[in-house]
């Protein structure tokens, strides 16, 4: 039995316990909920790939982000049905694919697959990753293409096969069509790799040119084949990049994203500190020798990852989850540096101790699975709101538009929850058969006569008389 198997199992158990309260529970972060609704609408024939819709009443079309992730999620609904857990299944699938690509990168870098638990565990040690996993963020999908672009580039450097460079560009293009300009940061890879390895400067031009070919040629083909795609991307760039970066303010300091990165990296600094202490106590020089010999790869990974974080300082529109797709690169970099020390430590563990760890780790995995089952059917977010919505939904037919008061216009979570469960749209401009209010006093704003059909602690549902 490989001495690394218990550590793989510990990593799996850590993941299961961390996400168990959320994986099969209802409720989702606002952004992820919107994206799930858009994908679900596409699967139901509401909107189209180049004109996706969040609601029949809220927006004519959704141009806040490129549509690739919505289209991929729509395929999941086509394959697995409309159940509310399909949202989470899709999000977890993106995570698993990213994890497998990390293992592929690890092997390409010359490491053994047996030790790939280390970068995976370091990736999970970012609290942001565990939070994002069940919340269906676009960065979850984009991470697949970001790490795939890194993998393809490293395959080119390892085997010197030119076709890996256009494929690298293609992966970067897919990242762009998932979340936009934040998916382009791995374009810097040739520059950092060649400078750090002291290769000829003309290689930067050659490699970057082939990568850009793989990026732009498919884009041109898409724009020519689907003219609406060009309009979509222009609207996205205008609304979400130019206008938002200049006019939207979500943080007080441009250094917010740097602060969040440092906070997210605290577990890694602790693990690194422990690694250094063990290295010093064991009087081994393996950590410092690894850095001396392989520092080019370490800094290539870290600097590329930083390019997925630092450019966000340009704008005061920042959120910590914007850097999610860069975190796997940090994890691989730190794992690359620390792996020899941890393998030395594991090698010194006796076979008897490994067997005990193996049994314990299996038990922890089983407990983690049990924990997921325990939380199945619970509500992890918006408990009161979802409880009230579930009481109201049986009274409203599917694929219906219902009225709300103008004062509820910015009750943003109402729209996606009603849309996701029964394709119900909320309309503040017309008096329809059903009326949703937060307070009975709001009835004064409506001319028609309504009868109360359902009363909950936070919502009131009325139906127009004689209908």
**Alpha helices for 180-253 (secondary structure H):** 189-196, 202-225, 227-236, 244-247
Give 415 or 466, the one with higher predicted confidence.
415
Distances (CA, A) of 88 to 4, 24, 40, 320, 416: 30, 7, 13, 21, 15
Give 409's pLDDT tier (boundaries 50, 70, 90). confident
Question: In the numeric block, which tokens belong to residue 329?
Answer: 């690169």
| pLDDT given for residue 60 in this prediction | 66
Residue 206 CB neighbour total at 10 angstroms: 14
Closest listed residue to residue 383, CA positions, set 442, 456, 441, 452: 456
* Residue corresponding to tokens 């290689």: 203
Give 443's pLDDT tier (boundaries 50, 70, 90). confident
Give 6 or 290, the one with higher predicted confidence.
6
Helical pair 266-281 and 256-264, crossing angle rounded to 10 deg: 50
Asked if pLDDT for residue 58 goes beyond 80, the answer is no
Helix (H, G, I), strand (E, B) or coil at 451: strand
Structure-derived torsion over alpha carbons of residues 128, 132, 134, 139, reported in degrees to the nearest 10: -150
Average pLDDT over residues 137-143: 96
Phi, psi for 379 (deg, rounded to 5)? -120, 120
Residue 63 CB neighbour total at 10 angstroms: 21
Average pLDDT over residues 99-118: 95
pLDDT in tens, 236-286: 888 877 776 666 777 888 899 999 999 999 999 999 999 888 888 877 778
pLDDT in tens, 150-173: 999 999 999 999 999 999 999 999
Give 214's pLDDT tier (boundaries 50, 70, 90). very high
Give 294 or 50, the one with higher predicted confidence.
50
| pLDDT given for residue 240 in this prediction | 79
**Residues 123, 104: Cα–Cα separation, whole Å:** 15
Average pLDDT over residues 89-109: 95
Give 377 or 129, the one with higher predicted confidence.
129
| pLDDT given for residue 317 in this prediction | 83
Residue 308 contacts residue 329 (beta carbons within 8 Å): yes
Question: In the numeric block, which tokens belong to residue 241?
Answer: 């990049």
Give 406's pLDDT tier (boundaries 50, 70, 90). confident
Give 431's pLDDT tier (boundaries 50, 70, 90). confident
Among the ranges 101-105, 271-275, 290-294, which has the highest mean pLDDT value?
101-105
Mean pLDDT in the chain?
Answer: 91
Helical pair 5-23 and 86-108, crossing angle rounded to 10 deg: 160
Asked if pLDDT for residue 59 goes beyond 90, the answer is no
Q: What percent of the chain has pLDDT over 90?
A: 67
**Residues 140, 370: Cα–Cα separation, whole Å:** 25
pLDDT in tens, 308-348: 999 999 888 888 999 999 999 999 999 999 999 999 889 98
**Residues 308, 322: Cα–Cα separation, whole Å:** 9
pLDDT in tens, 170-213: 999 999 999 999 999 999 999 999 999 999 999 999 999 999 99
Asked if pLDDT for residue 134 goes beyond 60, the answer is yes
- How would you class 323 by CB atoms within 10 Å of its CB: exposed for 0-12, middle for 13-18, buried for 19 or more? buried
Q: Which residues pair with 350 in a beta bridge?
A: none
Asked if pLDDT for residue 296 goes beyond 60, the answer is yes
Helix (H, G, I), strand (E, B) or coil at 80: helix
Q: Picking from 7-16, 99-108, 292-301, which range would have the lowest pLDDT averaged per residue?
A: 292-301
Asked if pLDDT for residue 1 goes beyond 60, the answer is no
Average pLDDT over residues 389-414: 90
| pLDDT given for residue 246 in this prediction | 67
């Amino acid at each position: 039995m490989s001495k690394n198997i218990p550590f793989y199992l510990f990593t799996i158990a850590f993941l299961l316990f961390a996400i168990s309260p959320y994986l099969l529970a209802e409720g989702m972060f606002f952004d992820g909920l919107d994206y799930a609704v858009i994908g679900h609408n596409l699967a139901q024939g509401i909107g189209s790939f180049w004109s996706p819709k969040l609601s029949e009443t809220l927006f004519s079309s959704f141009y806040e982000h490129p549509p690739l992730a919505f289209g991929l999620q729509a395929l999941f609904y086509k394959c697995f049905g409309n159940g509310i857990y399909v949202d989470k299944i899709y999000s977890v699938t993106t995570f698993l694919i990213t994890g497998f690509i990390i293992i592929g990168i690890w092997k390409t870098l010359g490491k053994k697959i047996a030790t790939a638990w280390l970068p995976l565990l370091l990736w999970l040690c970012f609290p942001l990753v565990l939070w994002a996993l069940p919340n269906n963020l676009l960065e979850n999908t984009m991470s697949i293409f970001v790490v795939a672009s890194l993998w393809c580039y490293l395959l080119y450097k390892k085997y010197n096969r030119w076709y890996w460079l256009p494929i690298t560009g293609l992966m970067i293009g897919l990242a762009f069509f998932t979340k936009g300009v934040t998916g382009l940061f791995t374009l810097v890879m040739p520059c950092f790799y060649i400078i750090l390895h002291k290769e000829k400067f003309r290689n930067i031009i050659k490699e970057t040119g082939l990568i850009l070919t793989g990026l732009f040629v498919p884009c041109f083909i898409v724009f020519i084949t689907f003219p609406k795609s060009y309009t979509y991307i222009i609207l996205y760039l205008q609304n979400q990049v130019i206008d938002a970066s200049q006019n939207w303010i979500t943080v007080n300091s441009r250094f917010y994203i740097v602060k969040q990165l440092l906070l997210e990296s605290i577990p890694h600094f602790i693990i690194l500190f422990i690694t250094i202490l063990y290295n010093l106590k064991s009087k081994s020089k393996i950590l410092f020798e690894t850095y001396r010999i392989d520092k080019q790869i370490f800094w290539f990974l870290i600097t590329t990852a930083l390019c997925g974080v630092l450019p966000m300082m340009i704008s005061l529109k920042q959120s910590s989850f914007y850097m999610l797709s860069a975190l796997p690169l940090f994890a691989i970099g730190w794992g690359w540096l620390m792996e020899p020390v941890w393998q030395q430590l594991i090698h010194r563990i006796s076979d008897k101790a490994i067997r005990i760890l193996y049994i314990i780790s299996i038990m922890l995995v089983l407990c983690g699975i049990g924990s997921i089952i325990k939380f199945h059917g619970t509500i992890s977010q918006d408990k009161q709101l979802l409880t009230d919505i579930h009481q109201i939904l049986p009274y409203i037919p599917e694929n219906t538009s219902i009225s709300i008061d103008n004062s509820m216009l910015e009750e943003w979570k109402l729209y996606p929850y009603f849309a996701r469960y029964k394709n119900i749209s909320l309309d503040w401009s017309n008096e329809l058969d059903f009326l949703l209010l937060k307070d009975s006093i709001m009835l004064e704003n409506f001319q028609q006569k309504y009868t109360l059909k359902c009363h909950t602690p936070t919502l009131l549902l009325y139906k127009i008389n004689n209908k």
